[in-house]
Every structure is written in C-alpha cells, then in structure tokens.
Amino acid sequence: METISGVLQMGGYGGYVWPAYGVSAVVLVLVLVASLISARHAEAELEQLQLTRRARRGAGRDAAAPDTAMVESPE
C-alpha cells in the first residue's frame, strides 16, 4: 500500500495535477454560481412578463365586456 505522500506526489507529477484539480474545482463552482444567478434573473423576468400579460388580458376583457354586452343578437 502506498503512503499518503506517495499518492500526493503522484510519481513526481503532483505539483501539476493538484493545482489542475484545484483550478477545475474553482471553475465548476463559478459556473454553478453563475448558473444559479442567471436562473433567478430569468425567473424574475418571466414572472414580470406573466404579470404584464395577465394585466393586459384582464384590461382587454374589461374593455371588451361593455361592447359585447351592448350588441344585440339578431333574431
């Protein structure tokens, strides 16, 4: 069984491998954080668009209701 220092040295390449692992881990965390922030902004924008759409539909129904109520159906 190898010693821990042998595993960490990785046959003399540990000085290259461990920093590469570290940089990769940092990049993955940054991508995760950026994705979460972007998703929250997108959800907020979607909510705003849905509220605007609901307001327009509601205003359209209220404005159209008196016009349709005044129209008599031909008999």
Q: Measure the CA–CA gap between 72 and 69, rounded to whole angstroms.
A: 8
Say what the pTM is: 0.63
The yes-or-no verdict on residue 53 having pLDDT over 70 is yes
Cα 36 to Cα 13, 39, 40, 43, 74, distances in angstroms: 35, 5, 6, 11, 58
What are the sequence ranges of the domains in the chain? 38-62
Instruction: Pick 15 or 1 by higher pLDDT.
Output: 15
For residue range 12-46, list pLDDT tens digits in order: 999 999 999 999 999 999 999 999 999 999 999 99
**C-alpha dihedral sign at 15, 17, 23, 26:** negative
Q: Count Cβ atoms below 10 Å from residue 6 Cβ, excluding itself.
A: 11
